[in-house]
Structure 1
Amino acid sequence: MTTLQLENIVKRYKNHTVLDNLSLDVKDGETLVLFGPSGAGKTVLLRLVAGVIDPEEGRILIGGEDMTDVDAEHRGIGMAFQNFALFPHMDAFENIATPLEAKRSSADAIKAGVHRVAKLLKIDHVLTHRPKALSNGQKQRTALARALAGSPPLLLLDDPLRNVDAKLRFEMRLELPRVLAAQGATVVYVTQDYKEAMALGDRIAVMSDGRIRQIGTPEDIYNAPADIDIARLFGDPTINLLDVTPNAEADGVSVLLSDVRIVLPGIPANTAGKSCVIGLRPEALRFVPAGTPGAIPVSVEAETPLNEKTVTLALTVRGREILVSRPAGTPGPASGSAHIAVDCASAFLFDKETGALIARHGSHTGTQGEAA
């Protein structure tokens, strides 16, 4: 059983704290995605786990064994980097074989191991090519195959798809879960691409400023972001955020959107009068006929087709921009006056001062609003 535990890890460079008392548990066989902006500390965390650098404080346990002071070559880890890091004087076969050679495997075992992972990653036809003769996609798969070849119990992948083209990124999002499942390793995967995080992670740990801000399944993160910043990071187009001040009424707490009263049942009355922000994902809004109960008047400014969906930019009566997303081919206004309805069950409510999630209607407590 291979688990990874980080306990109160602190890493500093001079006076700059890169990782600040960070703790994390990764389950046996789990793919955990570290997601966050550049500078969040994701790669430093991987380098610490790999044993390339040492923490100032804290412990690193792999399979329950303290590895904090163990040299990198004795940690049983495979790692793939975003810049490929292939040996230029070796062909693809030789690059992939390096971890097997380091384990002093027999020639037959090396050949079998290389061909196994090369076939899995569909690069068995380029094994005699050196890196300069490989496409970026083939280089990436070669680097990943090298990390997999030694069948490490713990696999660290540092944004491995960042330098490949969009088509390959899409294909690898589909293929990698199968490849990783076949490997059976515990995986820590770094990315700045939220779609990649959602596609690959059993769980996602959202990082910023050397801390983990939220950890949960992709559904947890998307459907209940811990704060406004995380809500902004997940979703395309981005979430709509409107200042609101909730009102407590006999039938529940309400907010005003374009002077239309929207009741959010289940929201506690003590949020009334507070400065809050309502978060509405574009796909949680839909165009409806005038006269529909709860219909909110807007002015349609522009429409952008994006293959599988169409995104509309509209303005509320107070000139606030709001995005509405609908499936491609679904009818909707391209300009002029229109009305939208809100899926209240998908609304997020945040504290305006702290940015923290107060409530999401139907699953949490809280509310927000000033007229939008």
Structure 2
Amino acid sequence: MAELALQDVIKRYGATQVVHGVDLTVEDGDFCVFVGPSGCGKSTLLRMIAGLEETTEGRMTIGGRDVTHADPAKRGVAMVFQTYALYPHMTVRENMSFGLKIGGADKDEIKRKVDAAAQILKLEDYMDRKPKALSGGQRQRVAIGRAIVRQPDVFLFDEPLSNLDAELRVEMRVEITKLHKKLGATMVYVTHDQVEAMTMADKIVVLRDGRIEQAGAPVTLYEDPDNLFVAGFIGSPRMNLFDATVTKAEAGVAHVTVPRLGDLVVPVALNDVPRDGQAVKLGLRPEHFNSDGELRANLNIDVVENLGGVSYAYSSQDGDTHPVIVELRGKSRPEAGGVLTVGFDASSALLFDAKTEQRIR
């Protein structure tokens, strides 16, 4: 396996630039997930790594080898597509061995590698079936097996679970994570689903408009986002973001007034305290609300989603871009149409500059 490094990578289509100076290192053996909204450039960047899209500027290395303009077959990568891309007239064994046959491998080597991959993916009982006789999850495992037998330096996954139903997505998510641990392989995985990103990745790369907004461990991005975009994108349900104003600034503390919470004043400890009167956004995760919190507010509840062990209460009022979401646990649950008194601790609150959207720390 090998380290993947991108240095100031740029992609243009004519005069239109879609990837803007991406710098990224994926360590040997890491599971790296590209995540972001549709059109953010994540699939384009993956295809550039695969050699399916030409890199306009910058440098790309795999295991220290410059592959910026190398032929896809010589990069040491294997790609698993969203659509499986299996040959319908071939059996599972023939699909998995096809790339090795084209590459001129001998029959014994092909059989050994295909059998080993089939054992890893629990496909031994399906080797003589054709794709039409397989479930969606089985087809995806065949596509992954076809990549495994090539023994690449880097595995590339382009939204491989998008065509599966919800239950099967969860199962395959676990299977791919286990596969990564078993192979110890370097993997780059593209998804628009941030839950997949949070549960599978060693490293998440959040993209927007062809730029990296933040990269790091899942817990780091969740607990310590650099800007409003990352704060709002990572986490399900999303972070609550309140319009607020700094009404008093003193050494190490900004006192922030939040109109949506009944003009509640929240003292936020900071190293870089903003000025008096500065417009800010205050962020709170739904789970940061608790009955013992030092700061209290009342919310009118519109909808309550009961999910068994946890519930989510939604509160909206005129002018809200998004409803306030409160996570609730325990047997006592509010009713829609009622008023819920919530509490939270000031230490849970994050602050962002309303103009630049950058985190204030």
Q: Which residue of 2 aligns with 1:338?
A: 340
Q: Which residue of 1 aligns with 2:352?
A: 350
Whole-angstrom distance in 2 between the partners of 1:249 and 1:193: 39
Q: Which residue of 2 aligns with 1:310?
A: 311
Whole-angstrom distance in 2 between the partners of 1:52 and 1:266: 46
Identity %: 37
Q: Is the 8 A contact 2:249 2:274 kept in 1?
A: no
Q: Which residue of 2 aligns with 1:370?
A: none
Write the deviation string for residues 20-52 of structure 1: whole angstroms up to 9, x where unpaired.
122211111111111111211112212211122
Whole-angstrom distance in 2 between the partners of 1:133 and 1:19: 40
Whole-angstrom distance in 2 between the partners of 1:67 and 1:250: 53
Instruction: Give the Å deviation of 1:294.
Output: 2.4
Matches within 5 A, 1:215-364: 215-248=215-248, 252-256=253-257, 257-266=261-270, 268-287=272-291, 293-314=294-315, 321-327=323-329, 329-334=330-335, 335-358=337-360
Write the deviation string for residues 93-138 of structure 1: whole angstroms up to 9, x where unpaired.
1111123324433323222221222222222221111112222111
Relative to the length of structure 2, the TM-score reads 0.91
Write the deviation string for residues 190-239 of structure 1: whole angstroms up to 9, x where unpaired.
11111110111110111111111110100111111222122221222222
3-state secondary structure, aligned to 2:298 = strand
Query: Residues 308 and 127 (structure 1 numbering): CA distance in 2 closer, same or farther, change over 3 Å?
Result: farther
Matches within 5 A, 1:50-199: 50-199=50-199
Whole-angstrom distance in 1 between the partners of 2:81 and 2:318: 50
Letter paired with 2:325: L
Query: Residues 145 and 275 (structure 1 numbering): CA distance in 2 closer, same or farther, change over 3 Å?
Result: same
Whole-angstrom distance in 2 between the partners of 1:318 and 1:340: 21
Whole-angstrom distance in 1 between the partners of 2:312 and 2:33: 29
Whole-angstrom distance in 2 between the partners of 1:127 and 1:188: 27
3-state secondary structure, aligned to 1:146 = helix
Whole-angstrom distance in 1 between the partners of 2:136 and 2:82: 11
Query: Residues 215 and 76 (structure 1 numbering): CA distance in 2 closer, same or farther, change over 3 Å?
Result: same
Instruction: Give the Å deviation of 1:153.
Output: 1.4
Whole-angstrom distance in 2 between the partners of 1:196 and 1:23: 23
Whole-angstrom distance in 1 between the partners of 2:71 and 2:97: 21
Instruction: Give the Å deviation of 1:299.
Output: 2.3
3-state secondary structure, aligned to 1:90 = coil
Query: Residues 150 and 179 (structure 1 numbering): CA distance in 2 closer, same or farther, change over 3 Å?
Result: same
Q: Is the 8 A contact 1:297 1:316 kept in 2?
A: no
Instruction: Give the Å deviation of 1:181.
Output: 2.0
3-state secondary structure, aligned to 2:195 = helix
Whole-angstrom distance in 2 between the partners of 1:57 and 1:321: 43
3-state secondary structure, aligned to 1:349 = strand
Question: What is the count of residue pairs matched by the alignment?
Answer: 355
Instruction: Give the Å deviation of 1:250.
Output: 6.7
3-state secondary structure, aligned to 1:254 = strand
Aligned-pair RMSD on alpha carbons?
2.2
Q: Is the 8 A contact 1:67 1:75 kept in 2?
A: yes
Whole-angstrom distance in 2 between the partners of 1:98 and 1:274: 63
Write the deviation string for residues 49-75 of structure 1: whole angstroms up to 9, x where unpaired.
112221111111111111123211111
Q: Is the 8 A contact 1:243 1:276 kept in 2?
A: yes
Q: Which residue of 1 aligns with 2:16?
A: 16
Relative to the length of structure 1, the TM-score reads 0.89
Whole-angstrom distance in 2 between the partners of 1:330 and 1:263: 31
Structure 1: any 5+ residue segments left out of the alignment? 359-364, 366-372
Whole-angstrom distance in 2 between the partners of 1:347 and 1:181: 35
Letter paired with 1:125: D
Q: Is the 8 A contact 2:222 2:231 kept in 1?
A: yes
